[in-house]
Structure 1
Amino acid sequence: MKLLLPALLLALGAHAVKREDFKECAQTSFCRRLRPLSSKSEVADFTSPYSLGSPSPAVSPHIGTPAKDAAWTFPLTSTLYPDVGFELRVDVLDGDIAQVRVDEVGSASPWRRYNETAKWALLSPEPAHVRASITTKKGVSSIKYGTGLELRINHSPLRIAMLRGGTEEIVFNDRGLFHMEHFRTKEIAIEEEEVVKAEDGEEVKTEEGAEVTTEEPVEVKSEPEEQKPFEATIDRSWFETEDGDLFEEHWKRWRDSKPKGPEAFSLDLTFPRAKHVFGLPEHASPLSLPDTIGEGSYYSEPYRLWNVDIFEYVADSPMALYGAVPLLHAHSAQGTVGVLNLVASETWVDVAHTKGVQTHWISESGIMDLLLLPGPNPTALFEQYATLTGPAQMPPQFATAYHQCRWNYNTQGEVIEVQDRFEEADMPLDVTWLDIEYADEHRYFDWNKKMFPDPVAMLDQVAKLGRKMVAIVDPHIKRTDSFRVYKDSLDLDILIKKADNNNFDGWCWPGSSVWVDFFNPKSWEWWTRMFSFETWADQTKALFVWNDMNEPSVFDGPEITMPKDNIHAGGWEHRDVHNINGMLFHNQTQHAISVREPTKKRPFVLSRAYFAGSHRYGAIWTGDNLGTWEHLAGESAMFLSNSIAGMSFVGADIGGFFGNPGTEMLVRWYQAGAFMPFMRAHAHIDTKRREPYLYDEPIRSHLRDALRLRYTLLPTWYNAFHDAATKGYPVIWPQYAKFPADESGAAVDDQYYVGDSGLLFKPVVVEGATTTEVYLAANEPYYDYFSARMWPARAKPRNITLDTPLDKFPLLIEGGHIFPSRERVRRASSLMGQDPVTLTVALGKNGAHGQLYLDDGETFAWERGEFVHRELAYADGRLRSTQKVPHDAHNAFARSIAAVGVERVRVLGLNKAPSSVTVAGREVQFEWEKGAPKAKEPRAGILTIKNPGVKVVDDWEIVIA
C-alpha cells in the first residue's frame, strides 16, 4: 500500500491537470441528451410542449408558511407525455423574491425527485409577509407584487417573465428549452426510444418477443402493453434522443447503476436587458462570464457545477472546481437582477450573449427550484441573497490576519521554530497550520506522538505568543478496527452506503477509507462530541480546524470523487446531493468548534468544497493553484465571483500550492495576499521552503512590508467582515457592484474595493512590470495610499498608470471615505486590541464618511450588543464620531476598551493649511504638508492631527478652522 499511494498521487497531479480524468458534457449522458435542445430550438416550428392549467391557492407549507395570497400552484402537462403529471408552484417571498418550482406529481414510480436542496441552502425564515395578487385572463396569469414587479405567466406554451415597470428582465422558457425527464421503467423507456426512432424515419428493428432484463430490480409503472406509441404534434426527437445510457452508464472502469433511470431537467433563462452575467462559482474564468456556445465562443464547453478535487487546475477554463454556487447576476447599466437555481446535482450552464444574455441550464436530477431576485442593483441583490441564505459568519478576529501553512510542518520542534523565526524577522503571524502528517497514519484526531510528543504543550507555547493553530480534519476515516472514530461510525451505522446498501469504502490519504453521512442526523451529536475536550484530549482552545478533501475526494473513484449511485440517509443517491455534501461536513465541524467551551466561541473552519449557504460556516480557498503568473493573474476574478455569491471569506495559496516561485513572483504574491480576505501562505510537500523570513534583503523587507500592511489595515478589514455578517455585503467589491451605472467598467475583474473603505487595490501580476494601469470610475479624487499623490475628480471613468517597481503596487483611496487603521503592528493581532486607532480622511467633493466597528473578536457577545460601532463623517471642516446604531454605548466590551484613543487623524485633500484644530474648544497639535494640486503629478495637501485626545467609544467632534 505504501508503494501504491505515491504512484497514485503522481498520476493525479503530475505537472498539470489530467483533463481526461474529468468529463466533458458529451461524456455524461444527460448533458449529451439535453444540450442539443439549444440548437434544435432554432428550428422555425420549434415550440415548448409544456402548458399550464388554471392556478389554485397553494396550501402546503414551504419555506416557513407563505401568506395564503402569495403562493399558487398550476397543473403542468406536456404534449410529449400527456399521462405524466407535473406541478408548477409560484411563491412570493420576503424581499420581493419570486420562487418557481416544478416537480413530478402523481407518479406510480416508487422514486421521488430530490427536493431538499432548499432545506440545506436556505434559512428557515418567519412566514412571508408579502402582498401579491393574481389575475388570469385569456391564458395569461399576472402576479403583481412589490414595487412595480410582475410575474407574467403564459400558460401555453409555458413562458414566465419577471417584469419591472412593464419591462421584461428575466424570462424562463423563452426559447422553450425547459424539459423534465419523467420516471419510467426500462421497458417503457425502450418503447419510447423506438417511437423516437420511428418519428425520425429510422427503421425500427426489435425482435418480437425479445426479453428485456436489467441488472437492478425496477418497479414497473404500468404494464408495457398498455403503453401506446405517442402520436406527436411536436417532434419528440427534439426532446428525447436515442441514448443507451438511460438506466446504466459506464465511464472508463466505473459503472453507474442509475436505478431511477433518467431524471434530468433542462431550462433556459434569458436576460433581455443584460450585457454581462457574473457568478456560477467556482471556475477559473473571467468574472464576466464569456460565451460557451455559438460562433466564436470563448469556451467550447459549458460551465460545470460539480465539486471535484482538481490538482493543478487550468488558470482559464470552465471546468468544475471545488465548489458550486448556482447563482447568476445579470447586469447592465439599466439594472441588475439575479437567479439562484437550487439544484445540488451535476449541472452544466451554457452562456450566449444573444438578445441580451441567454443561459441554458442542464441538471442530472432533482426538482426545478428557481429563485428570481429582482435587484434592481447589485447591493439590493446582496441583501436579497442574504434574506434567502443568511449573511456570512462573523469570523474570529485572528482569522482575518496572516496564516502560515505548508504540507507539512512535520515535528513539534518545527512548529516552535516557525514562531521563533517570525519573531526574529519582526514579521507578524497569527496562525500556524498542520497538514495531514500530524496525524498518526492519517487518522485525524490521533497525533503522531513520535513527531508531536506533547501537542498540548506545543499549543500552549504558541498561544502564549497570542497565536493560534489549525489542524486538518478530512472527511475520510481510516478503515481499521483500531481507530476509535471508525469503530464509532460503524456502531452508529452512519456511513455512506454503496448502491447495494453496504458501507462504501474508497481510497484516500489513509488508504482504505469510509465516509460519514452528514445527511444522517445521527451523525451530528456524535461529530460534535469528537471535538470536545473530553473526547479529543490532545487539543486546546487555541486549536482550530481545516476541512479539506470534502467534495468528497476519493482517489479511486470516478472523477476522483464518490460514485453517483452511493446512498445517503433518506434513500437519496449521491448524484442528488453531491454539491451539498462538503457544506454539511463544514457545518457540523464549525458547530462542534463553537460549542466545545462553556461560553460559545466563534469557530474558524476552512473548507475546500462549498455550496450556496456555505458562507454561514466559514472560509474557503481556491484549492491547488500553481505558483505561476497566470494563476496569480486569475485569482482576483475567482475571488470576486465567489464574493458576489456570498463566499467572500476567500483566498488563494500565497506563492501557489505547486511550484517554486522566484523572488519577484513571491513578493507579488504576498502583496496580493495582503488584500485577500483570507490571507494564507501554503505549499506542497515537494516544494522548497519559502517562509518569508528565509529570504535575504531586500526581498525580506518587501515581504515584511506586505505583512505589516495587512495588520495595519485590520480594522478596515474587520469593518468589511462585519458588513458581510450583518448586511450580506461582500468583503471585496467588484467594479460593477460599486459602480453599476458605469458600463465601461462592468467587466473589470483585476482590481477591487475593500468593503466601504474606498480602498482600491490592484495586484501586479505581470513579470518584470514597472508600471500598472488602474481603472478609476468614481467622479471623485483618488489618492495614492503611500505617497498622497492625487488624481483630481473626473466626470468620465479613466485609466491611469502608476509606477510599480517591485516594492510598489497600486493601492488608492477613493475620495469621500474615512477608514481606520492601527499603526503599531505587533507579533499577533490579539495583542493589538488595546492599541490606539488612526483615522484617514480622504476628502471627496462632498466631504467624507466611514465607520469603525470593534468587538471582542472571539465570542458571540456582539450579537447581544457587546460592541462599539461608530459613524465617522467629515463635512464643513468638522470631523464627527457618533454612535452608528442605537444600543447601549456603555456595554461591557465598550468599557473594556474605554481607554483606547485616536492617536492620529490624517486628512487628505485640504486646499490650504488650517488656522487651528480644536476639540471641545481645546486646541490640539497638527502638522501641515502643503500639496501641489496643479503640478504635473498633483499631490494632496496632508493635515496630520496628533493625539487629538478623543476616545473611540465616545461622541466627539474635531473642528478644522
Structure 2
Amino acid sequence: MRCVLGVLATLCALFLILSDAVDPSNFKTCDQSSFCRRSRKVQSSGSKYALIPGTLNTYADSLTADLVNKENHHQFAFKLEALVGSSFRLQIDEKQPLKPRYRVEHALKGQPQTGRIRVQRETDGEIVITSEGNKAVIHGDPFRVDFYENDVLVVSVNAKNWLYFEHLRQKSQEPPAAQAEHENQQEQDAAVETPKAADAIDDPGAWEENFKSHHDAKPYGPEAVALDFSFPAAEILFGIPEHADSFVLKSTSGTDPYRLYNLDVFEYIVDSKMALYGSVPVIYGHGPQRTAGVYWQNAAETWVDIQTAETNVVSSLVNFVSGSRKSPPPAAHFMSESGIVDAFILLGPKPLDAFKQYAALTGTHELPQLFSLAYHQSRWNYNDERDVTSVSAKFDEFNIPMDTMWLDIEYTDGKRYFTWDKFKFPQPLTMIKNLTELGRHLVVIIDPHIKRDNGYFFHNDCTERGYYVKTRDGNDYEGWCWPGAASYPDFFNPVVRDYYASQYALDKFQTVTSDVMLWNDMNEPSVFNGPEITAPKDLIHYGNWEHRDVHNLYGHMHLMGSFAGLQQRDPNQRPFILTRAHFAGSQRYAAIWTGDNLADWSHLQHSIKMCLTEATAGFSFCGADVGGFFGNPDAELLERWYQTGIFLPFFRAHAHIDTKRREPWLFPERTRLVIQNAVLKRYSYLPLWYTAFYELEQTGEPVIRPLLAHYPLDKEGFAIDNQLLVQDRLLVRPVMQQGVSKVDVYFPAVDDKKNGDLWYDVDTYQRQEKSGYVSVSVDEYKIPVWQRGGSILPKKERQRRASTLMINDPYTLIICLDRQGKASGSLYLDDEKSYAYRQGQFIHVNYEFANGQLVNRFIGKPKYKSDAWIERIVIAGLERVPSGAGITVNGVTQQLEVLPHEGHVVVRKPGVKMDVDFALKLNY
C-alpha cells in the first residue's frame, strides 16, 4: 500500500501501528548500526591509548592530562574530577576537534559539588590520588583508571582496553565501501575489514548509512565513543533501563547488546534487550560486600555489552590457577554514536549509597500531590462529556475510590493540542468543575507532534517564528503522527520552551483549570514514517546540533517545557505530568509508565521487573497500564493486575481504543469485588506512599526497592524480581501466574548464617521467622504482603470516593516488633497540594517503640496544622497481652482500652493530634 499525505497518510500509519505486534525487523540490530559494529570490534583488539608523559596538571579538585591514540597519534584531553559524596567524574574529549562535540545539558540537577584531591604518588606509569578516603589509580600505558572504596577495588575503567574514540575528520572522498552500500543495501551487514591506514575507517556506514528506505547523510562522519567498566567486587550488574527484561542484566555474548535509544515500540517483546521509550545510562555492580555504579552521560544512541562470569572461560581458568578470583568480574561496555566520554563513578559502598549518589547528580522527583498516588482511570478514549461523567458516577455507585479521569487524543479538535472537540466536549469547564467538586482531577494528553494546518495557531506560530526542528537543508521537518502531517517543536531552544510553556496559561488555554494535569506521550519522538518510527538522525536542533547527538534527550526537553508551563500557570501547585520518553534527570519533572504493554501474564510479570530497575535509576514514580494496553484481559488476569498495580507507585488502568471496555463493573460481581478490595487497600496505604515520596525527595532513597537494597549479603535474593520492597517496611510478592493456589515467596537473609528478619502477614499478622522460600496459599482476594518486624507504618482506613477527601481522616499506626521487641517508622503530612511544605509547612515525625512504650519525635518543629488524629494503634509481636495502656500528653495521662486479637492487639482511640508530642505506655 502506498501512503499519501493527509487523511490517507494517517490511515496508513494507523494500519501499520495497530495491525500486529511489534516487528523487530523495523528496528536496528547492532550489526545494522555501523558505529556499534565498529565499537564492538574493539573487543578483539589490543590497547591503543596511553597518557602522554609530562602533560599532567593537578588542581584542588581535579587533574588533567593528554591522552594519545598510539595508532593514529590523535590526542585527547583527559580529566578526572573528585565529587563530594564518594563519586568521581571522568571525561575524555578531543583536544582540538574540528568542531565542538556535544556535551549533555539539563540531565544533571545542577553543577556537581567538587571535592578536594591529594596526589599520593606520581611516577611515569602511575598516578594515585585520594579524596574523602577513596582512591583513584591512573595507569599511563595502557591507559586504565582503578577506583577504590576504602582500599577495595570496585570499578576499573578500560581494564579490558575497549576504549574507542573516533575523532572528527574531513571527508576527502566517498569511501568505496560507502558507495557500495549506497548501491546495495546488503552491504550494511558486511564484515568490517582491517583499516588500510591507521587513520582510515573503511566501514560500510561510516560516512553515510541506510536502513530500509531511510538514508542518514552523516555529514560529520564517524564519531563514536566507547569505554568499558569492570566491577571487581560485584557478582551481578543491573540498571540501564528501559528494557522489558530481567532485573539482573544478562550476558550479551552471542546476542545483541542492550540498546538505549528512545523508540515507540508497541506490544513490545518481553525478555528482550531491544530499546524502548526511555534511556537511562546508569548501571550498578553489586556483590555481597560492595555496590558501585557508573552513570554514562551521553544522549546519543547507545549500546551496552554485558560480560558476566560465563562469557570468558579462558580468563576464569587463569584466575583460578593463580589463586585469584575464579571468574572475571562482570563488565559493561558502553558504545555511543557521538558526543564525548563523560562518566560518573559512584563508589557506594552499599546499594542505597550508590542510589543516593546517582540522585545527588540527577535529582529526585519532587513530592507529588497526594491525588497522583491514588487510582487513575483512563482509556483511549472516553467518548464525550457524558461518558466521563457516567464513569465517574459509576465508581461512586459501586463504592470504588477513584481520583483521576484521563482523556487521550480524541478530546482535541482534530488532534490539535490546546483545543477541544466542540461536539464531544462542548462544555469542558463544566465537566472539569463537576469532577473537582467530587474531589477528583482530570488529566489531558498533549504530545509534541504539531498538526500542519494553516488554520491552527500553534502551527502558524512555530512556522513563522522558526520554532520547528529543521532538516539538514534548513527547512521545517515534516513527519507523520496522529494528526497526519506534523512537525516537531525544537524544545532545545529555550525560546521555544518558553513559548510552549506559555500556552498553558489560563488566559490562553481557557478551557481548562489549574487543577487539570498533563500527559506527555509519543515524545521519543514518535514519527510513524521515520527511520525506526522516530526522527532522522541528521535533523538539526538549536545550537546546530544534530538529532543524533541529542535524540535521547528530546522527551526530556519536552518535559522541561511542560513542567514550566504548569508551574507558571499556578506557582503554588505541584505539577503532575506523566511521560513516556525519559532520560537521566527526567524524574525531576514527571512520572513514567512502562508503555504499550499487552494483556498477557508475561507483561504483568515484567511490570515489576521494569519498575524495579527504573527505581534504582531514579524513577520511583513508575507503573504499568493495569490490564494491559493492547488486548482484552480475562477476569483473572485483570484481578491480579489490579492487585499488582496497587503496589507500584503509579497506579493507572489504561486501554487501547480497540479493546473492550473494562471498567470494573462490566465484569462479574466477583471480579468487581476483588478489584474493589484491592483499590481500597491502595487507599489505606496512601500515608505510607506519601511519606515514602517525601523521604525520596529528601534523601534520594527509592520508594520501591529490590531485595538487595536491604539484604546485600543474601546472594539468593540478588536476582529475585517478582518481589519488591516498599521502602524497608513492606515485602510484596504479587500473584502473577494464571490459575495458581500457591506462590513461592522468598524471605531474605540478613547475614551469612541465613538469619532473617521477622515478617508479619498484613492480613493476619501471622509471623514468618526464617529466611528462604515459603509456599504461601492464595485465593482470589489474597495479595501476599508482609510488614517487616521492627517497622511502624501509617495507614488511613476510612473509605472515601477520592484521596482529596481524606486529608483530615484519622490515622492508624501499625507496629510490627522485631526480636528485641522494638520498632520504628515515620509519617509525613502536609496540605497534599502546594509548595508550602518547602517553607516548613509540614509535619514529619518519627515513631519509636521499645520496652512497651511508643513515643514520637518530630523532625523539625511542626508548622502545619492538621485536624487529623491517631485513631488506632495496632501492635503485633508482643510476648504477652497488656491489660491496657496510658497515653501522656502535656503531662496529663489518660487510660486507653487495649483489645486482644489473634496475633496482635489494638489500642483504641488514642485521640492525639498529629502535631502533638505524646508517650504511650502499655500496662501489664
TM-score norm. by structure 2 comes to 0.93
What's the counterpart of residue 524 of structure 2? 551
What's the counterpart of residue 113 of structure 1? 101
Secondary structure of the structure 1 residue equivalent to 2:430: helix
What's the counterpart of residue 324 of structure 2? none
Q: Which amino acid aligns with 1:123?
A: K
Q: Which of 498, 511, 534 in structure 1 is aligned with 2:507?
A: 534
Instruction: Give the 3 Å change call, closer, same or farther, for CA 253–235 of structure 1 in structure 2.
Output: closer
Contact 1:53–1:76 under 8 Å retained in 2? no
What's the counterpart of residue 865 of structure 1? 840
What's the counterpart of residue 220 of structure 1? none
Contact 1:12–1:18 under 8 Å retained in 2? no
Deviations 1:597-629 (A, max 9, x none): 2x4210001000000001100200000000000
Deviations 1:4-34 (A, max 9, x none): 4233223224332111110000011111112
Please give the alpha-carbon distance, in whole angstroms, between the structure 1 residues aligned to 2:164 and 2:174: 16
**1:904-915 mapped onto 2 (5 Å cutoff):** 904-915=872-883
What's the counterpart of residue 663 of structure 1? 635
Instruction: Give the 3 Å change call, closer, same or farther, for CA 20–237 of structure 1 in structure 2.
Output: farther
**1:794-813 mapped onto 2 (5 Å cutoff):** 794=770, 797-813=771-787
Deviations 1:508-538 (A, max 9, x none): 0011101101110111221121000011111
Q: Which of 364, 367, 372 in structure 2 is aligned with 1:391?
A: 364
Please give the alpha-carbon distance, in whole angstroms, between the structure 2 residues aligned to 1:189 and 1:269: 35
What's the counterpart of residue 922 of structure 1? 894
What's the counterpart of residue 949 of structure 1? 911
Q: Which of 600, 611, 620 in structure 1 is aligned with 2:572?
A: 600
Correspondence 1:695 to 2:671: no
Q: How many pairs align?
A: 879
Deviations 1:252-308 (A, max 9, x none): 1111010000000121111122111110000011101011115xxxxx110000000
Please give the alpha-carbon distance, in whole angstroms, between the structure 1 residues aligned to 2:580 and 2:591: 9
Contact 2:83–2:112 under 8 Å retained in 1? no
What's the counterpart of residue 170 of structure 2? 185
What's the counterpart of residue 440 of structure 1? 413
What's the counterpart of residue 902 of structure 1? 870
Contact 1:37–1:239 under 8 Å retained in 2? no
Q: Which amino acid aligns with 2:33?
A: T
Task: Name whichever of 387-396 and 307-316 sits farther off.
Answer: 387-396
Secondary structure of the structure 1 residue equivalent to 2:900: strand
Q: CA deviation at 1:902?
A: 0.5
Deviations 1:202-233 (A, max 9, x none): xxxxxxxxx99x99xxxxxxxxxxxxxxxxxx
Secondary structure of the structure 2 residue equivalent to 1:587: helix
Q: CA deviation at 1:461?
A: 0.6
What's the counterpart of residue 90 of structure 1? 80
Secondary structure of the structure 2 residue equivalent to 1:555: coil
What's the counterpart of residue 351 of structure 1? 306
Instruction: Give the 3 Å change call, closer, same or farther, for CA 236–352 of structure 1 in structure 2.
Output: farther
Contact 2:608–2:722 under 8 Å retained in 1? yes
Please give the alpha-carbon distance, in whole angstroms, between the structure 1 residues aligned to 2:465 and 2:803: 42
Please give the alpha-carbon distance, in whole angstroms, between the structure 1 residues aligned to 2:589 and 2:700: 14
Q: CA deviation at 1:861?
A: 0.9
Q: Which amino acid aligns with 2:620?
A: S
Secondary structure of the structure 2 residue equivalent to 1:187: coil
Deviations 1:391-429 (A, max 9, x none): 222111110000000000010110000111001000101
What's the counterpart of residue 202 of structure 1? none
The alignment yields a C-alpha RMSD, in angstroms, of: 2.0
Deviations 1:767-805 (A, max 9, x none): 00110111111522211111111112x3xx311111112
Correspondence 1:31 to 2:2: no
Q: CA deviation at 1:54?
A: 3.6
What's the counterpart of residue 754 of structure 1? 726
Q: CA deviation at 1:126?
A: 6.9
What's the counterpart of residue 77 of structure 1? 68
Task: Name whichever of 686-695 and 913-922 sits farther off.
Answer: 913-922
**1:826-845 mapped onto 2 (5 Å cutoff):** 826-845=800-819
Q: CA deviation at 1:129?
A: 4.3
Please give the alpha-carbon distance, in whole angstroms, between the structure 1 residues aligned to 2:786 and 2:364: 28
Instruction: Give the 3 Å change call, closer, same or farther, for CA 51–102 of structure 1 in structure 2.
Output: same
Please give the alpha-carbon distance, in whole angstroms, between the structure 2 residues aligned to 1:401 and 1:384: 29
Contact 1:100–1:370 under 8 Å retained in 2? yes
**1:450-599 mapped onto 2 (5 Å cutoff):** 450-597=423-570, 599=571
What's the counterpart of residue 135 of structure 2? 150
What's the counterpart of residue 960 of structure 1? 922
Please give the alpha-carbon distance, in whole angstroms, between the structure 1 residues aligned to 2:96 and 2:448: 38
Please give the alpha-carbon distance, in whole angstroms, between the structure 1 residues aligned to 2:357 and 2:802: 36
Please give the alpha-carbon distance, in whole angstroms, between the structure 2 residues aligned to 1:50 and 1:381: 30
Please give the alpha-carbon distance, in whole angstroms, between the structure 1 residues aligned to 2:741 and 2:197: 59
Contact 2:57–2:65 under 8 Å retained in 1? no
Q: Which amino acid aligns with 2:154?
A: E
What's the counterpart of residue 382 of structure 1? 355
Q: Which amino acid aligns with 2:849?
A: Y
Please give the alpha-carbon distance, in whole angstroms, between the structure 1 residues aligned to 2:350 and 2:832: 32
Correspondence 1:167 to 2:152: yes
Contact 2:72–2:199 under 8 Å retained in 1? no
Correspondence 1:250 to 2:223: no
Contact 1:653–1:681 under 8 Å retained in 2? yes
Q: CA deviation at 1:165?
A: 3.6
Runs of at least 5 residues in structure 1 that lack an aligned partner in the other structure: 59-67, 195-210, 216-233, 295-299, 932-939
Please give the alpha-carbon distance, in whole angstroms, between the structure 2 residues aligned to 1:558 and 1:262: 19
Contact 1:133–1:145 under 8 Å retained in 2? no
Contact 1:25–1:32 under 8 Å retained in 2? yes
Q: CA deviation at 1:247?
A: 1.3
Q: CA deviation at 1:725?
A: 1.1
Q: CA deviation at 1:314?
A: 0.4
Please give the alpha-carbon distance, in whole angstroms, between the structure 1 residues aligned to 2:64 and 2:72: 20
Task: Name whichever of 73-82 and 467-476 sits farther off.
Answer: 73-82
Secondary structure of the structure 1 residue equivalent to 2:569: coil
Runs of at least 5 residues in structure 2 that lack an aligned partner in the other structure: 1-5, 184-193, 310-327, 751-755
Q: Which of 712, 730, 737 in structure 2 is aligned with 1:740?
A: 712
Please give the alpha-carbon distance, in whole angstroms, between the structure 2 residues aligned to 1:135 and 1:587: 45
Q: Which of 604, 612, 619 in structure 1 is aligned with 2:591?
A: 619
Please give the alpha-carbon distance, in whole angstroms, between the structure 2 residues aligned to 1:690 and 1:240: 60
Q: Which amino acid aligns with 2:279?
A: A
What's the counterpart of residue 875 of structure 1? 850
What's the counterpart of residue 297 of structure 1? none
Q: Which of 673, 676, 681 in structure 2 is aligned with 1:704?
A: 676
Secondary structure of the structure 2 residue equivalent to 1:595: helix
Please give the alpha-carbon distance, in whole angstroms, between the structure 2 residues aligned to 1:262 and 1:580: 21
Q: CA deviation at 1:239?
A: 9.8
What's the counterpart of residue 646 of structure 1? 618
Secondary structure of the structure 1 residue equivalent to 2:274: coil
Q: Which amino acid aligns with 1:876?
A: N
Q: CA deviation at 1:55?
A: 4.8
What's the counterpart of residue 318 of structure 2? none
What's the counterpart of residue 722 of structure 1? 694
TM-score norm. by structure 1 comes to 0.89
Superposed structure 1 runs of 4+ greater than 4 Å apart = 188-191, 234-241
Please give the alpha-carbon distance, in whole angstroms, between the structure 2 residues aligned to 1:908 and 1:551: 49
Q: Which of 223, 240, 246 in structure 2 is aligned with 1:263?
A: 223
Please give the alpha-carbon distance, in whole angstroms, between the structure 2 residues aligned to 1:99 and 1:388: 11
What's the counterpart of residue 295 of structure 2? 340
Contact 1:762–1:809 under 8 Å retained in 2? yes
Contact 2:62–2:117 under 8 Å retained in 1? no
Please give the alpha-carbon distance, in whole angstroms, between the structure 2 residues aligned to 1:275 and 1:238: 38
Please give the alpha-carbon distance, in whole angstroms, between the structure 1 residues aligned to 2:198 and 2:349: 36
Q: Which amino acid aligns with 1:254?
A: H
What's the counterpart of residue 319 of structure 2? none
Q: Which of 232, 238, 247 in structure 2 is aligned with 1:272?
A: 232
Q: CA deviation at 1:316?
A: 1.2
Secondary structure of the structure 2 residue equivalent to 1:753: strand
Contact 2:13–2:480 under 8 Å retained in 1? no
